[in-house]
Amino acid sequence: MASHRKSRPTGARVAGIRTPALATAALTSVALLSQTAEAAPSTDDRPSLEEVEKKVDDLYRQAESATEKYNAAKEKTAKQRKRVDTLLDDVAQRTQKLNDAREELGSFAAAQYRTGASAPDTATFLLADSPQDYFDQTQLMGRLTSRQKDAVDDYFTEQSATMKKRQEAADGLGTLTESQSDLRTAKATVQKKLSDARELLSRLTAEEKARLAAIEKEKQEEAERKAAELARVQAEEQRRQEAAAQEQQEQETADGSSGGTGTGSGSDTGASDSAYDTKAERALAFARAQIGKPYVWGATGPDSYDCSGLTLGAWKAAGVSLPRTTYDQVNAGTTVSLAAAQPGDLVFFYDDVTHVGIYIGNGMMIHAPKPGTYVREESIYYDGESSIHSVVRPA
């Protein structure tokens, strides 16, 4: 009997399961979609603009901290190099004197030989610890003239001094090598931090850069508002002090007219303030003349500056020598309160004291902010009130 079963159509469903051809296609499609999903960047993993801004600011701060370490290492290296050069020059001069002394002793030995005395043993001479040891061994000490004894003493004295200086020079070269290593490390750290900051900023879209600029503008406006408030407080304090001084003067005048005697000690303070004001004016004039010049880490002018390089140059123009780094500048003067800050004072920032500006009054300063910027006037609150570390009057 012939079979009545019909052939199964290719690609038809059987018990709700696709045939192998369709199943393979479906699995392939799912795999491709999965791979695409894995390859596509997740917007959730992308840092927010605020996070990018904070990271960039942190990197710039770290770069500035490394810059001050670089400045310190550079200064130490320069001093150490100068010391080593001086030691090496001294060693060279002493070596020449030693050679001259050796030649004189050679002439003396030859003369002794010509007169029939025993010929000195050169090896014994060079290994002797002192002239007495040598001549005790050779039994020549008793036959030396006063001049010859002096020549021998000079030789051994110079030999001892030369050996000491050679050791000092060797130690100095070791310290110099360490300083140069520190200098290279600090330089590499600065460059790495700046490179990381530039790389982060390069990822931003045009829209994000515009938003970032808007955020910076808001921060600047807030900083200027705080500066204006500080200027108001300082003006009130100045008026209060002037009123108190006027009242004291009137009281002293009244006491004088009634037979009393006033001490009038305020003149000394005025003279001191006047002397400081004169120096501060020179420092500020210098700082203003640098406005617009680029920030370059490690620079001390005249074409570019970093923060401590600018304050160093400003007060140098006023006849006051400041140390090179912020770490040392913060201790080079008298600390005053922020409310008592006067033009010319140095304003330091952050707990690690890695930034400095020169105060110009009204809550404003002149400073070299960071890489990519220029020397400019800006509110001392440019990075928030909490960033201010201290105020120092350097003269």
CB 183 within 8 A of CB 73: yes
- Token pair for 315: 């007060």
Separation between Cα atoms, residue 67 and residue 193, nearest integer Å: 10
- Strand order in 388-393's β-sheet? 334-336, 388-393, 346-349, 355-361, 364-367, 376-379
Whether 389 is catalytic is no
Choose, from 355, 370, 389, 393, the residue flagged as catalytic: 355
Residues 140, 120 contacting (CB under 8 angstroms):
yes
Place of tokens 């018990």: 15
Residue type, 246: Q
Q: Is 4 a catalytic residue?
A: no
Which residue is catalytic, options 69, 193, 293, 367?
367
* Catalytic, out of 307, 330, 358, 375: 307
Instruction: List the structure tokens of 153.
Output: 């003493």
Residues carrying an active site annotation? 307, 355, 367
